[in-house]
């Protein structure tokens, strides 16, 4: 530690070069921070204690196929089931078909299933008693400038009403607040409408249910309960497939894109380039200090401590750049999420990202510094001072 000022002075011996190298390191770790945020936000979807105790039951045939309403009581009767609710995909869009809204037609007890969504008692009552009522997420309301009490049209990209029109009227009766602000991206954008209104209005549903959500009393029993639910409709024309919310989310995300693979291949290319670049900087830095290092050795520094100092210098370089880069990513991520109007959710780099990031910084620092540090350690004093090394 007492050599810190020496290392620091060596690092900023050539300010321009160090700054240029730092900027490259910063951009690499900025990219790492942002991409890792994308990966974790995909990974974390459904990964909560609540998610592990909730089961989703859909048609085994395909996700567009609906299930009969009558299953409600039969699922309720399965041993270990605490609560059953159901919902249908509405496929709503506001004004322009591109402005898609996550909209579900939900059963009266749907909110009981999701403690992640906080709705005031007053709003819940209004939702239950207003046929055209809708509950909207805070973020969604902000995005379209909706207020409680507004009457808004929403088009369904799937379901027409009895006259064939796809424009549905709704009255906003309350807001949904995400209980956990940090991972609330999804609930913040939700639009819930009454299942009864939906079923009565479109001729294309007729008492069918898109999917069931079940809460099990004990998460360890989830597998057994899932099998029992699927057994109810085995060999019928509406076989079901039940998965924990966690598993269902993961497999859905995987169908959209193998995010993990994309992220790691981009990062591979970036870090490879980074290694080369900062490696070159360190080689240059040590080469031009040959005589200084020889002097250090002459006045009694051992080969090992010279080695350690050069290694410390390169690790310090990487850590400074990396921490600034990751810090920037933590600031920029939420800004980008806000700017995208909820369509993107990039949380600030979490503990995990930081741990991985710092691990990479130290590792790269050691790799990058290894060769110049070894050269410095093996440096022959007489050769170096005579200008032969």
Partner 1 sequence: MTFLKNLGLLLLLVLVLAAWVMLPWFGALGLAALLGLWMLLTRRGAQARSVTGVGVSTLPQRIGSSAVIVVGIAGVVGVLVALLAMAEGYAETLRKSGSEDTAIVLRGASAAEVASVMTRDDITQIGLAPGVAKSAKGEPLLSAETVVAANLPVKGTTTDEEGSVQMRGVGDEAFAVRPQVRIVAGRKFQPGLKELIVGQGAARQFEGLEPGKQIRLGSQMWTVAGVFASGDSMESELWADAPVVADTYRRGASRNSVTVKLTDAKAFNEFKAALDGNPQLKVDTSTTLAFFAKQSEQMTKILRIIGIVVGTIMAVGAVFGALNTMFAAVATRAREIATLRAIGFPGLPVVVAVMLETMLLAALGGILGGAIAYLLFNGHAASTMAAGSVGKLSFELRVSGQLLWEGLKWALAIGFIGGLFPAVRAASLPVTTALREL
Name the site residues for partner 1 (rule: CB under 8 A): 16-17, 20-21, 23-24, 27-28, 30-31, 59-65, 91, 93, 97-98, 155, 157-158, 160, 164, 166, 204, 234-239, 241, 251, 254-257, 266, 269-270, 272-274, 276-277, 280-281, 283-284
Q: At closest approach, how far in Å is the CB of 86 from partner 1?
A: 19
Query: 177 or 241: whose CB is closer to partner 1?
Result: 241
Q: At closest approach, how far in Å is the CB of 165 from partner 1?
A: 9
- CA dist., res. 1 & res. 3, Å (int): 5
Structure tokens at 308: 């350690």
Q: At closest approach, how far in Å is the CB of 273 from partner 1?
A: 4
Q: At closest approach, how far in Å is the CB of 83 from partner 1?
A: 26
Query: 328 or 358: whose CB is closer to partner 1?
Result: 328
Q: What are the helix (H) ranges across the chain?
A: 4-11, 15-44, 49-52, 71-76, 110-113, 121-129, 138-144, 195-201, 222-232, 245-256, 259-287, 290-298, 303-339, 351-378, 381-385
Query: 150 or 230: whose CB is closer to partner 1?
Result: 230
Residues with Cβ within 8 Å of residue 327, at least 6 apart in sequence = none
DSSP state of 161: -
Query: 143 or 166: whose CB is closer to partner 1?
Result: 166
Query: 117 or 222: whose CB is closer to partner 1?
Result: 222
- CA dist., res. 102 & res. 196, Å (int): 18
Query: 247 or 366: whose CB is closer to partner 1?
Result: 247
Q: At closest approach, how far in Å is the CB of 327 from partner 1?
A: 16
3-state secondary structure 166-227: CEEEEEEEEEEEECCCCCCCCHHHEEEEEHHHHHHHCCCCCCEECEEEEEECCHHHHHHHHH
Q: At closest approach, how far in Å is the CB of 27 from partner 1?
A: 4
């Amino acid at each position: 530690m007492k050599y810190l000022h020496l290392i620091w002075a060596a690092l900023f011996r050539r300010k321009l070069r160090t700054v240029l190298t730092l900027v490259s390191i910063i951009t690499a770790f900025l990219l790492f921070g942002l991409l890792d945020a994308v990966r974790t936000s995909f990974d974390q979807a459904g990964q909560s204690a609540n998610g592990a105790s909730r089961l989703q039951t859909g048609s085994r045939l395909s996700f567009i196929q609906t299930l009969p309403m009558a299953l409600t009581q039969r699922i309720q009767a399965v041993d270990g089931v605490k609560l059953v609710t159901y919902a249908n995909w509405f496929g709503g869009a506001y004004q322009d078909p591109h402005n898609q809204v996550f909209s579900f037609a939900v059963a009266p007890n749907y909110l009981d299933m999701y403690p992640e969504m906080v709705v005031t008692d007053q709003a819940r009552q209004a939702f239950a008693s207003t046929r055209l009522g809708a509950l909207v997420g805070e973020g969604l309301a902000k995005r379209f400038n909706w207020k409680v009490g507004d009457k808004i049209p929403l088009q369904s990209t799937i379901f027409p009403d009895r006259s064939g029109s796809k424009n549905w009227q709704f009255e906003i009766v309350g807001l949904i607040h995400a209980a956990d602000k940090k991972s609330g991206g999804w609930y913040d954008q939700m639009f819930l409408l009454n299942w009864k209104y939906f079923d009565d209005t479109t001729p294309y549903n007729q008492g069918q249910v898109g999917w069931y959500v079940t809460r099990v009393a004990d998460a360890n029993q989830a597998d057994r309960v899932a099998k029992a639910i699927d057994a109810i409709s085995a060999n019928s024309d509406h076989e079901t497939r039940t998965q924990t919310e966690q598993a269902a989310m993961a497999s859905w995300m995987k169908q959209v894109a193998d995010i993990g693979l994309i992220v790691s291949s981009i990062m591979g290319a970036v870090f490879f380039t980074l290694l080369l670049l900062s490696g070159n900087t360190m080689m240059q830095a040590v080469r031009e200090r040959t005589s200084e290092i020889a002097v250090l050795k002459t006045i009694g520094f051992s080969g090992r401590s010279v080695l350690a100092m050069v290694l410390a210098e390169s690790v310090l370089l990487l850590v400074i750049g990396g921490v600034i880069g990751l810090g920037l990513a933590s600031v920029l991520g939420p800004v980008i999420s806000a700017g995208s109007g909820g369509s993107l959710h990039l949380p600030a780099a979490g503990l995990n990202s930081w741990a991985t990031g710092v691990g990479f910084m130290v590792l790269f620092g050691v790799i990058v510094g290894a060769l110049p540090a070894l050269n410095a350690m093996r440096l022959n004093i007489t050769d170096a001072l005579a200008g032969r090394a």
